[in-house]
């Protein structure tokens, strides 16, 4: 199948058009990924349960384009004024082994393994709750519980974009089905109040 596609694209009738299109590949990718993040934020705002998280501030960020990471953060408004906090993040990262989409709770500033924040009652309660929901605690200096999105691992950046274009609504719904329960189950804890 792959060879048939390549042969079709490189035959004499098509190859010049294909090469012209490829010149715009990075711009197309940037537009599609912008649609992913903007659409995801809009979907989450639209589907937000009535009592999910009080006042939340949303922020997008990235490091690199096709190689690196990008994210959508959601922070309780009160945490914006604090030195240390825990907030919600949806993130993708490109690795040598592929492209992964995951989400969870992230520390505002990375912390040392010896930090007393790990012993705060609220942090312990969150960890106990999330471990039963399949969240990982393998990167505790940066994340306070994370998990892969179902169907969130791809062989390449382009595979992710193709999957998104073909299944946009399904991806948004799947992420929302995990994201809002995470917020509802953890927000009663004073997430923004963890200060060292």
Question: Tell me, what's the pLDDT at 196?
Answer: 46
Question: Tell me, what's the pLDDT at 192?
Answer: 46
Instruction: Name the stretches of the chain with pLDDT < 50.
Output: 191-196
Question: Tell me, what's the pLDDT at 131?
Answer: 94
Dump pLDDT digits (tens) for 35-87. 999 999 999 999 998 877 667 889 999 887 656 789 999 987 766 666 777 88
pTM to 2 decimal places? 0.85
Q: Which two tokens stand for residue 59?
A: 């922020």
């Amino acid at each position: 199948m792959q060879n048939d596609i390549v042969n079709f694209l490189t035959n004499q009738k098509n190859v010049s058009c294909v090469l012209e299109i490829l010149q715009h590949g990075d711009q197309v990718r940037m537009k599609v990924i912008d649609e992913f993040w903007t659409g995801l934020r809009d979907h989450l705002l639209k589907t937000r349960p009535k009592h999910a998280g009080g006042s939340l501030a949303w922020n997008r960020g990235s490091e690199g384009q096709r190689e690196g990471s990008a994210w959508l953060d959601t922070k309780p408004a009160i945490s914006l004024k604090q030195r240390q906090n825990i907030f919600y993040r949806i993130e993708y990262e490109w690795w040598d082994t592929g492209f992964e989409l995951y989400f969870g709770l992230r520390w505002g500033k990375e912390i040392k393994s010896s930090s007393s924040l790990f012993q705060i009652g609220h942090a312990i309660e969150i960890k106990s709750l999330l471990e039963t929901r399949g969240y990982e605690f393998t990167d505790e200096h940066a994340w306070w519980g994370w998990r892969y999105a179902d169907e969130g691992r791809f062989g390449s950046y382009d595979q992710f974009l193709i999957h998104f274009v073909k299944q946009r609504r399904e991806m948004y719904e799947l992420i929302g089905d995990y994201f809002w329960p995470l917020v509802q189950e953890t927000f009663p804890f004073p997430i923004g109040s963890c200060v060292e």
